[in-house]
Copies of this chain bind each other. A is one copy, B any other.
Amino acid sequence: MILVNRRYRFSASHRLHVDALDEAANDEIFGKCNNPFGHGHNYELEVTVHGEIDPVTGRAVQLDRLDELVGRSVIDRYDHRYLNEELPEFAQTVPTTENLGKEIVRRLRAAWPSGFPHLERISIFETPRNIFLIGPTE
């Protein structure tokens, strides 16, 4: 068994704000990330797939299929977007990188072809200092 990691990039912006909380609470929890106009990041996404090496091709995952899958489900959807305003999934849900990661896992799982090697986890680098790992929960 082998884990194959492949990295992708996208740039987006978000604002961390919860309507149900008052200003003081938003400020305390999110600090300058609560700025009303949002701010942005170069997100780096690592997709980790758990496969077996095919005895004929020597490959554990067909990378062009993975690229197509991640490109269509994630990169095309989030690259160069303002997450709060443009994505319905973040209309009611605050687009922290935690929630963004959860949503990316949900989208990958929904689009994942049967028979494709198992999706093990994703990692999102919000910045080089802040990295989130999320595994698909069933």
Contacts and interface: CB of A to CB of B under 8 A. Distances in A.
B13 A93 contact: no
Contact of A58 (B6, B11, B94): B94
B13 A39 contact: yes
A29 B135 CA distance: 28
Contacts of A98: 2, 4, 53, 58-60
Contact of A38 (B32, B82, B102, B129): B82
Interface residues of A, number: 63
Given A129-B6, A131-B5, A40 B58 contact: no
Given A13-B39, A57-B18, A96-B59, A130 B5 contact: yes
